[in-house]
Amino acid sequence: QVQLVESGGGLVQAGGSLRLSCAASGSIGSINDMGWYRQAPEKQRELVALIASGGRTNYADSVKGRFTISRDNARNTVYLQMNSLKPEDTAVYYCNALILVTGGIWKKAYWGQGTQVTVSS
């Protein structure tokens, strides 16, 4: 069994910063892409940032230059540093990872439980 546990959300004023963390644990053989998604009320879940196992990154246009995704492969952990936060960044942020479990054949996408980020104006 594999679990993704997120931490670091909270309430911050516009212009502030937060750092999200997501640690994967369990019977992990290998982890490919890791990423962060977000879902605001009455909106669809959207990709925020993605990082491949080799370190290549991809960002949504709305967060480029403000957010930075990184990972620690030894700790099976992905981070999202969020700077210059705006009220429109308010959402539940979900961690996602493409994982091959130990002894498995197919990779599967796993999700964290979500962490609330609220940016006040």
State whether the Cα torsion 61-30-80-114 is positive or negative: positive
**Rounded-to-integer distance, Cα 87 and Cα 119, Å:** 5
% of residues, the chain, pLDDT over 70 = 100
**Rounded-to-integer distance, Cα 60 and Cα 40, Å:** 15
Write the pLDDT tens digit of every residue in 61-82. Answer: 999 999 999 999 999 999 999 9
State whether the Cα torsion 77-104-50-43 is positive or negative: negative
What is the band of 18 on the pLDDT scale with cuts at 50, 70, 90?
Answer: very high
Under DSSP, the state recorded for 112 is: -
What is the band of 116 on the pLDDT scale with cuts at 50, 70, 90?
Answer: very high
For 32-44, what is the mean pLDDT?
97
Q: What is the pLDDT of residue 67?
A: 98
Q: What is the pLDDT of residue 31?
A: 97
What is the band of 20 on the pLDDT scale with cuts at 50, 70, 90?
Answer: very high
Q: What is the pLDDT of residue 73?
A: 95
Name the region of 63 (left: φ>0; alpha: ψ -120 to 50; beta: rest). Answer: alpha
If one counts every other C-beta atom within 10 angstroms of the C-beta of residue 51, the result is 21
**Rounded-to-integer distance, Cα 61 and Cα 46, Å:** 11
